[in-house]
Structure 1
Amino acid sequence: MEETLFDELKRYVGWSEVDERALRALHASAAPHFPAVAEVFYATILGHEGAKRSLTGGESQVGHLKITLQRWLDTLLRGPWDEAYYQNRSRIGRYHVRIELPQHYMFGAMNVVRRELNAIVDDTYRTSPDALKTVREALGRILDLELAVMLHTFREDLVAQSARAERLATFGQLVGSIGHDLRNPLGVIETSLFILRGRVGADERVKKHLDRIGDQLGVANGIITNLLDMIRNRPLVKERVRLEQVVAGAVDAVMRPEAMRFRAEGLAGLEVEGDPGQLRQVFVNLLSNAVEAASPAGAVSIAASREDGRITVAVEDSGPGVDPAVARRLFEPLITTKERGIGLGLALVKRIVERHGGSVAYEPPAGGGARFLVHLPA
């Protein structure tokens, strides 16, 4: 079996079953101290202006973050240290890229954890020198592993983000140069179509073809609008937005086959600060994709929840799902799984959601289909 990156990192630091047993033995003694470690950790961050600015939710989020840190400490010492553990830790590195956290703060934060846990180890094993040495070495290895995983995913996502920015810059130059030139001939066709409609009389076959031309004009204009939206930084007109109204507007804008099952739940009473028009576009794009994937007689659902200062809206369909080979690139411009798509809808979703301080992710449901999760600050 091919060695995974996590296996390679474990081998590099000399990870063994002895370390696993040592950390699990430490867990029982250390767990009661986790709240105190979290207090010291965030007191240190709040005492440093540069590190304090990295808290995207400000001081009001510290209570939630303390709980998150305690969970992190729990799995740090309890395991299991498997691929699921690695994937969970990788998400932390990606989050650091998203909030533009300087790497030196990662080292500083890990040093605070190392210092506090070493103090617990010293106190717990002060009468057992051999056990003290074993546990200290195990703790050093797991914290080195943590840093290695975070730095690897930090670098991986930073490189990907830079490449995406370059592609968007090139894409913007191209779109900006051709958007206006395409709109002119489309405008002429639209004007001519209007004149022709008034002169065809009762010939139903001609009317049918004129309607087709009109439909395709709408498609072409929609593509140009999406292209231009990708390169514009339209200012957000923020207000208090009721998600139930925004999603209802998006649902009304998306045509669904009569045989399709649709369900929405959990939206009542949820509010965010945002631009209602742009948020509506997010859900129009996600619902359009879901309806197309689940047509003609599948199911589409929207479910919302609020937890720890953020709102999550899940848009799920019963369609064929997304090929794992393209899942990680779904939100890049010009990446599409549709035969007739050009890959702008999800890229625009990502752009709008991130401008609202949130994030969007694809998650394959256990029973098949596709699920997109939109996270927004409450």
Structure 2
Amino acid sequence: MAETLFEELKRYVGFGPEDEQALRALHEVAQPEFPAIAEVFYARILEHEGARSALAGESQVGHLKVTLRAWMEQLLRGPWDENYYNLRCRIGRMHVRIALPQHYMFGSMNTLRQEFNRIIDENYARQPEVLRAARVALGKILDLELAIMLHTYREDLLAQQARNERLSTFGQLVGSIGHELRNPLGVIETSLFILKGRPLASDERATKHLERIGEQVTLANRIVSDLLDMIRDKPLKREPLRLDEVWKDALTSVQGAPGVSIQAEGLEGLPTLQGDPGQMRQVFVNLLENAVQALGETGTVTLSASSGPEAVELILEDSGPGVSEPIRRRMFEPLMTTKARGIGLGLPLVKRIIERHGGSIVYAPREGRGARFVLKLPLPTSSL
């Protein structure tokens, strides 16, 4: 059986049973200090603007400290198997998604190395052989951690660059075709307006077909607009933004089946933000249309809102089938769609608009069935 990359890396650094034993022994004395190490670790990170902005400032640090303690638990207890490797790979991919520069990874690992070496010195000062074994094992496992994260970081970064190159070519093509399509669509709309005023319109079948033509022209115009919005930097209006009013306006554009219920709570209590009401309306419309289409004839769509010290949080949930794991990884990429009709621009546009407002959007799976999107938008004191 072929050797896996993780097995090759362990062989390369000489990581074996003796090192595993030394790390488990170190875990016994280091575990009580995990909370203090997490405090030192993130205090160091927050001193640097680049790392702080990649981690979304101090708002996420409380959660990340808990995650780091779990990371240290597995670091020193193992098992150091393929599941361990796969979990560490996700960390490298996350660094790509949040655009965390690689040099912060090295700096962060050095902070952990210093803290663990301090614990080794304090606990094994009178046991030189144990001290040496612990220090060697620690060096190997931290080197393995860096090797795994850098490997996956490089893989995902190269894939991201390839996608960006494809999108650049796509954008040039769309810009040319989109403007050319506006002309024939404009002619069709004008001719349709004239036909509707002629005796032909008294024929019920003719009237029905004229309405269908009008609907399809509207749909085609929207697709062209969405395509063009994806490739151009549409200026943001910076004005008072009341999300409850934007939500109510968006509801007028979304039609669901009679058995579909759309509810919202907490919007009225949100503070006034700064942003573009028109573009935020598009965010709500796109998310609502996706949810309603996923539900079909029956189900519930719920929006809940709350405000924190730095940002407002919106959670949009539906009781539909949810999104499969393979689709989640690419759901915010342009042209990615599972619909029979549609070209996969709704969620990419949502992400683009939210990020231009200084916010973020993630897909957070629900327990059981259903989809959940979590949006965060900065309060007015934060920059857009």
Distance 1:105 1:220 in 2: 46
- Secondary structure of the 1:298 match is strand
Change (3 A) 1:203 1:90: same
Q: Which moved more, 1:277-286 or 1:290-299?
A: 277-286
Output one character per residue of 1:111-138: Cα deviation in whole Å (capped at 9) or x when no partner.
Answer: 1221132112211222333432343344
Distance 2:348 2:5 in 1: 29
- Secondary structure of the 2:52 match is coil
What is the deviation of 1:208? 1.0
What is the deviation of 1:336? 0.8
What is the deviation of 1:32? 5.7
What is the deviation of 1:332? 1.5
What is the deviation of 1:282? 1.6
Is residue 2:276 matched to residue 1:281? no
Change (3 A) 1:307 1:140: farther
User: Which residue does the alignment assign to 2:159?
Assistant: 160
- Secondary structure of the 2:138 match is helix
Q: Which moved more, 1:260-269 or 1:325-334?
A: 260-269
Equivalent AA in structure 2 for residue 28 of structure 1: Q
User: Which residue does the alignment assign to 2:315?
Assistant: 314
Change (3 A) 1:241 1:4: farther
- Secondary structure of the 1:337 match is coil
What is the deviation of 1:327? 2.8
Distance 1:168 1:279 in 2: 24
- Secondary structure of the 1:321 match is coil
Is residue 2:12 matched to residue 1:24? no
Change (3 A) 1:19 1:12: farther
- How many residues of Structure 1 are paired with residues of Structure 2 in the alignment? 370
Q: Which moved more, 1:362-371 or 1:228-237?
A: 362-371
Distance 2:153 2:311 in 1: 23
In the superposition, the TM-score normalised over structure 1's length comes to: 0.84
Distance 1:5 1:311 in 2: 42
Distance 1:107 1:377 in 2: 30
What is the deviation of 1:85? 6.8
Change (3 A) 1:31 1:320: closer
Q: Which moved more, 1:164-173 or 1:358-367?
A: 358-367
- Secondary structure of the 2:298 match is coil
Equivalent AA in structure 2 for residue 250 of structure 1: A
Change (3 A) 1:173 1:305: same
User: Which residue does the alignment assign to 1:355?
Assistant: 356
- Secondary structure of the 1:253 match is coil
Change (3 A) 1:39 1:347: closer
What is the deviation of 1:365? 2.4
Structure 2: stretches of 5+ with no match in the other structure = 380-384
Change (3 A) 1:312 1:137: farther
Distance 2:35 2:250 in 1: 48
Is residue 2:268 matched to residue 1:295? no
Q: Contact 1:27/1:78 (CA < 8 Å) preserved in 2?
A: no
User: Which residue does the alignment assign to 1:116?
Assistant: 115
Q: Which moved more, 1:348-357 or 1:192-201?
A: 348-357
Is residue 2:44 matched to residue 1:41? yes
Output one character per residue of 1:11-57: Cα deviation in whole Å (capped at 9) or x when no partner.
Answer: 66526552552343133342363366247624xx63xxxx4344218
Equivalent AA in structure 2 for residue 316 of structure 1: E
Is residue 2:57 matched to residue 1:61? yes
Equivalent AA in structure 1 for residue 350 of structure 2: V
Change (3 A) 1:195 1:367: same
Q: Contact 1:38/1:69 (CA < 8 Å) preserved in 2?
A: no
- Secondary structure of the 1:244 match is helix
Distance 1:372 1:6 in 2: 34
Change (3 A) 1:149 1:143: same
Task: Tell me the C-alpha RMSD between the 2 structures.
Answer: 3.3
Change (3 A) 1:216 1:73: closer
User: Which residue does the alignment assign to 1:242?
Assistant: 242
What is the deviation of 1:254? 1.2
Q: Contact 2:38/2:68 (CA < 8 Å) preserved in 1?
A: no
1:78 to 73, 91, 105: 73
Q: Contact 2:314/2:376 (CA < 8 Å) preserved in 1?
A: yes
What is the deviation of 1:328? 1.5
Is residue 2:207 matched to residue 1:207? yes
Q: Contact 1:15/1:141 (CA < 8 Å) preserved in 2?
A: no
User: Which residue does the alignment assign to 2:228?
Assistant: 228
What is the deviation of 1:84? 7.9
Change (3 A) 1:302 1:89: farther
What is the deviation of 1:339? 0.5
Equivalent AA in structure 2 for residue 244 of structure 1: D
Q: Contact 2:37/2:115 (CA < 8 Å) preserved in 1?
A: no
User: Which residue does the alignment assign to 1:258?
Assistant: 258
Distance 1:276 1:189 in 2: 31
In the superposition, the TM-score normalised over structure 2's length comes to: 0.83
Distance 1:192 1:268 in 2: 45
Change (3 A) 1:221 1:328: same
Change (3 A) 1:36 1:347: closer
What is the deviation of 1:337? 0.2
What is the deviation of 1:283? 1.9
Q: Which moved more, 1:294-303 or 1:73-82?
A: 73-82
Distance 1:352 1:224 in 2: 17
